[in-house]
Amino acid sequence: METRPLQSVGLGGDGDEIEAIHGVEETFGVKLDRSEASSWRTAGDVFAALQNTLPPAEQQNPALWMRFAVAICGITGADPRRIEPASPLLSEDSAWQKLRSIPSAAWIASLAALMILVAAALIRG
């Protein structure tokens, strides 16, 4: 049986995650406890924070997950039907993700080359 890859929520890590969380809060009329927000990596992490704000009866609502998925995907265009608790919040395609994967040696070499160019320009004039 072939397993399909998880679809990320599609956030870019450039501030859109704040807007997505705000969308969840507006949809459910709650304020999430953001004290653990720095450790939220998956849709399930945010969903757990949402569940903690809801009355017990609403936490068990079978439609809760889909309502949440629609809310958190509202700004990204990701398909909420493909979002699962393990789905990453950040898109693997985002520029920030790609920049983080560049080895530090490449950053150092790029910075050194830039410094040489600036120094040469200053010497010339």
Q: Do 4 and 54 lie in a common domain?
A: yes
pLDDT tens for residues 15-60?
888 999 999 999 999 999 999 888 999 999 999 999 999 999 899 8
The better pLDDT of the pair 14, 102 is held by 14
* pTM (predicted TM-score): 0.70
Q: Do 45 and 105 lie in a common domain?
A: no
pLDDT of res. 5 = 55
| Domain with 27 in it | 1-93
pLDDT tens for residues 60-99?
899 999 999 999 999 888 899 999 999 999 886 544 444 4
pLDDT of res. 99 = 47
Q: Kindly report the CA angle at 77 between 83 and 48, in degrees rounded to 5?
A: 35
Closest CA to 24 of 60, 74, 59: 74
Q: Do 65 and 105 lie in a common domain?
A: no
Tokens 């994967």 belong to which residue?
101
Structural domain tally of the chain? 2
With a CB cutoff of 8 Å and minimum separation 6, the contacts of 49 are: 32, 33, 36, 37, 40
